[in-house]
Amino acid sequence: MQILITIVHVIACIVLILVVLLQAGKGASMGAVFGGSSQTVFGSSGPGTFLGKMTTAVAIVFMLTSLSLSYSVSRKGNSLMEGAAKPVAQKTVPAPKPAAPPAPAAAPAPQAPAAPQTAK
């Protein structure tokens, strides 16, 4: 259901943008664009009323889908910041204990200092 509401929401966003961009600003003349026959393009009441009603309808759909999506997310309790609030505890691996030092080898017998040699 949430996927369907999300699709309707995206479509409503695009349509709302297009409808707002189609509307003429204050003082703008649609007659210049359509060659003076702008009253017959959107009906006898002109483009202002038609686009105004369509903007209102699409804005209502947009607001309803926004509220329903935010309500559905709040009911689930899923939050993007939920995982960031709790630091992840890392397991510490104890350092391996060093093995017993090897038994000392038999010390060599001390040697007598060598006698200095004389050059001949």
Q: What digits encode the pLDDT tens for the residues 95-113? A: 777 777 666 666 666 676 6
- Tell me: pLDDT of 33 over 80: no
- The span from the CA of 51 to the CA of 111, in Å, is 111
Token couple for 78? 């899923």
Residue 95 lies in a domain: no
What's the domain range around 53?
1-11+46-76
Give the pLDDT score at 94: 74
When pLDDT is averaged across residues 15-22 and rounded to a whole number, the result is 92
Q: What is the pTM of this model?
A: 0.49
When pLDDT is averaged across residues 58-70 and rounded to a whole number, the result is 95
Residue 34 lies in a domain: no
Give the pLDDT score at 23: 83
Residue type, 72: S
Residue 98 lies in a domain: no
Q: Nearest-5° angle of CA 52, CA 56, CA 58? A: 115
- Tell me: pLDDT of 26 over 90: no
Residue 16's nearest CA partner among 53, 66, 71, 54 is 54
The answer to whether 23 and 55 are in contact (CB under 8 A) is: yes
Residue 29 lies in a domain: no
Locate all alpha helices (DSSP H) within 23-109, ordered by sequence.
Answer: 31-34, 38-41, 47-76, 82-85
Q: What is the number of structural domains in the chain? A: 1
